[in-house]
Structure 1
Amino acid sequence: MRAVTVSPQVPGSLRLVEEWPEPAAAEGAILVEALAVGICGTDQEIIAGQYGEAPPDQERLVIGHESLGRVLADPTGTLRRGDLVAAVVRHPDPVPCRNCAVDEWDMCRNGLYTEHGIKGLPGFARDRWRVQPRFAVPLDAALAQVGVLLEPASVVAKAWEQIERVGHRARWDPRNVLVTGAGPIGLLAALFATQRGLSVHVLDRNTTGPKPELVRALGANYHTASVNEVDLQPDVLVECTGNPTVVLDSMCKVGPTGIVCLTGVSSGGRTIDFDAGALNRTLVLENTVVIGSVNANRRHWKQAAAALARADRSWLDSLITHRIPMSDFAAAYEVSEGKIKVVLDLTA
């Protein structure tokens, strides 16, 4: 079978292997035929050799952590043949830490977790894969064309759960939200906000292309000004760019008792002249909260599946701007303007 692989931490080692071994039974009882794999910045960073870890006793890592497939066989009876399914990315550490012990592996405290296609577990960019029942997430059959969005949606579901938990420290009556960045995470964050009945504003630098229309199709407002220039004091700000300037401006932008949720990851190595004292004053005197959120556990995956099932299918489909066949796999991992979500089609 075919598999897209890298030699971890070796830049430019992306290869399509035509004769990769079938998935080992130890990976899980449920055998799945791969339909698609979503591609994101994490894949780009692994290909660039910034990080990545192959499974024990293997030299190459199958990449791809955004999965979608159909069940071929499930001897456990958890799923039926033909069911649409995605697989949870992160697995708990074997120790386990206090959080992993209660299935909160997204909050692992000792870093010994593993992740499909990233750290110690094979990814999903291969013709077939296996999954344990506890990590298999069924999807509505109507999501066959867009179910590959479940992994980024699970990240957003966790972010909103964290926001709401913090919000309930006092009377919680948010009215508006500002989302910085209109990539897949930002657009899904906006979708989840509209499903919560909030007035939604999205900021991005693109003035052309599909992003402005995708935002407006949600009934949201699209901005291209800087964070400071947006005429709004949001109750919630979801930061999805990782740009250091945008991150710091976001912390000062929210209104009293506001919540800033950081989902974008900065690359580091950049120094910014910033008034830290003014930021401290704002955070303290306004009871502002800044939280970081990454990854998701099974609860969030189920929340995300329900949110996608409620969403407009045509809008979700428009989020996927490029579908690339496996035969042209290298093109799927090329960075270029105009792409929102790129999907590698394993059926083509």
Structure 2
Amino acid sequence: MRAMTVVPGKAGSASVGEVAEPPEADGTMLVEGVLAGICGTDLELVAGEFGSGRAGADQLVLGHESLGQVLEAPPGSGFSSGDLVAGIVRRPDPEPCPACARGEWDFCRNGLYTERGIKVEDGYGAERWRVDPYFAVRVPAELGRLGVLVEPASILTKAWEQVDHVGGRSWYEPKQVLVTGAGPIGLLAALIAAQRGYGVHVLDRSDEGPKPQLVRDLGGSFLTDLGDLQVQPDVVIEATGAGPVVVEAAKLLAPAGVMCLAGISPGPDRIDVQMDALVRQLVVRNAALVGTVNAAKRHYVDAVDVLLAADQTWLERLITRTVPLSDWPSALTKKPGDIKVVVDLRA
């Protein structure tokens, strides 16, 4: 069968690979691949910057943002043939560490976790894949192809959970939210902020394309310069990973404000920062910075609820391009106006 493949560690090896049928060791539920989303992690895997395949395998099947349709499900699994599902990415380590033992594999302490389509395990970017029912989340039929947004939305439901945990250390009633970066992660962060009734302000370096109107349709303001921000944010969701943006946004935090770092930049590792001044601002304001990555099962379930509560036509506008599996490497080249690009695994 066909699949989205790369040779781990080899740049430029993205191809439409021929792979064997998914092994039963991957799970008792057989799923037909419907869509796979492309994100920055996939770009880094294709660039050979990280990633690892199964032991003895010379290629890795990509695709951690998934949507599939159940072909076969075991009795008592809670799934039936025809159900739409999204597969969870991370798997707990085999030991397991205390976090993995309680279902919080997104907080794995020893790094021995595996990840579908990223680390050790093949992903969901194939015509068929298998999954253990426990690591699958039902996608309501009314979401249809929008179910491919469940995985990226789970990153944000976790991010907001972490913001609430940290903010709850004292009196906590946020009103203004700044989101930096208007890619899929930033826009989904803004969506959740709007659903919560917060004032939404989104920063992006370009005001071309559909992003500004998507933000405005949430009732938010769109900025290309932090100097134009007219409020002091209680919460910042940082989705660029760009050091200068992180520093400047952190300086703007309100007293007891929380910044959640959800982005990683492929750019330079080093910037010049007056850390003593920044630290002073954070300390005297009781502000907090927290990083977040990946998601646990409950975050996927929450993500489904977020998507169901959203305007479906707004969500449709996030998916700006669909490419066939037969030409999936073309999804890696960004085009003007692209937000979320997905691969049609049936084409």
Scaled to the shorter chain, the TM-score interval is over 0.9
The answer to whether the 8 A contact 2:3-2:325 is kept is: no
Q: Deviation per CA, 1:97-150, whole angstroms, max 9, x where unpaired?
A: 110011100000111100011000001111000110110100111111211001
1-structure distance, mates of 2:320, 2:230: 30
Q: Which amino acid aligns with 2:144?
A: A
- Displacement after TM superposition at 1:232 (Å): 1.8
Q: Which amino acid aligns with 2:137?
A: V
Q: Deviation per CA, 1:253-300, whole angstroms, max 9, x where unpaired?
A: 111110000001133644322211111111111000100011000011
Q: Within 5 A, what are the aligned runs for 1:1-348?
A: 1-17=1-17, 19-78=18-77, 79-225=79-225, 227-267=226-266, 269-348=268-347
2-structure distance, mates of 1:60, 1:154: 27
1-structure distance, mates of 2:266, 2:37: 22
1-structure distance, mates of 2:220, 2:330: 32
1-structure distance, mates of 2:142, 2:126: 23
Which secondary structure state, in structure 2, belongs to the residue aligned with residue 81 of structure 1?
coil
Q: Which amino acid aligns with 1:158?
A: K
- Displacement after TM superposition at 1:229 (Å): 4.0
2-structure distance, mates of 1:49, 1:40: 15
- Displacement after TM superposition at 1:185 (Å): 0.2
- Displacement after TM superposition at 1:59 (Å): 1.2
The answer to whether the 8 A contact 2:26-2:131 is kept is: yes
2-structure distance, mates of 1:4, 1:278: 47
The answer to whether the 8 A contact 2:255-2:286 is kept is: yes
Q: Which amino acid aligns with 2:279?
A: N
- Displacement after TM superposition at 1:38 (Å): 0.2
Q: Which amino acid aligns with 1:6?
A: V
- Displacement after TM superposition at 1:61 (Å): 0.3
The answer to whether the 8 A contact 1:53-1:120 is kept is: yes
Q: Which amino acid aligns with 1:62?
A: V
2-structure distance, mates of 1:255, 1:245: 19
The answer to whether the 8 A contact 1:228-1:249 is kept is: no
Gaps of 5+ in 2: none
2-structure distance, mates of 1:157, 1:207: 26
The answer to whether the 8 A contact 2:4-2:15 is kept is: yes
Gaps of 5+ in 1: none
TM-score by length of 1: 0.97
1-structure distance, mates of 2:219, 2:30: 40
2-structure distance, mates of 1:144, 1:37: 13
The answer to whether the 8 A contact 1:182-1:211 is kept is: yes
2-structure distance, mates of 1:70, 1:241: 33
Q: Which amino acid aligns with 1:115?
A: E
Q: Which amino acid aligns with 1:280?
A: V
The answer to whether the 8 A contact 1:228-1:253 is kept is: no
The answer to whether the 8 A contact 1:29-1:76 is kept is: no
Which secondary structure state, in structure 2, belongs to the residue aligned with residue 110 of structure 1?
coil
Report how many residues are paired.
346
The answer to whether the 8 A contact 1:154-1:301 is kept is: yes
Question: Which shows bigger deviation, 264-273 or 251-260?
Answer: 264-273
2-structure distance, mates of 1:29, 1:272: 48
- Displacement after TM superposition at 1:345 (Å): 0.6
Q: Deviation per CA, 1:297-336, whole angstroms, max 9, x where unpaired?
A: 0011101011111111111110000011112212112233
- Displacement after TM superposition at 1:228 (Å): 4.1
Q: Which amino acid aligns with 1:118?
A: I
- Percent identity at matched positions? 52
1-structure distance, mates of 2:345, 2:144: 13
Q: Deviation per CA, 1:60-109, whole angstroms, max 9, x where unpaired?
A: 10011000011111013320111110000000000111100111000001
1-structure distance, mates of 2:257, 2:227: 16
2-structure distance, mates of 1:329, 1:110: 34
2-structure distance, mates of 1:280, 1:157: 28
2-structure distance, mates of 1:76, 1:25: 16
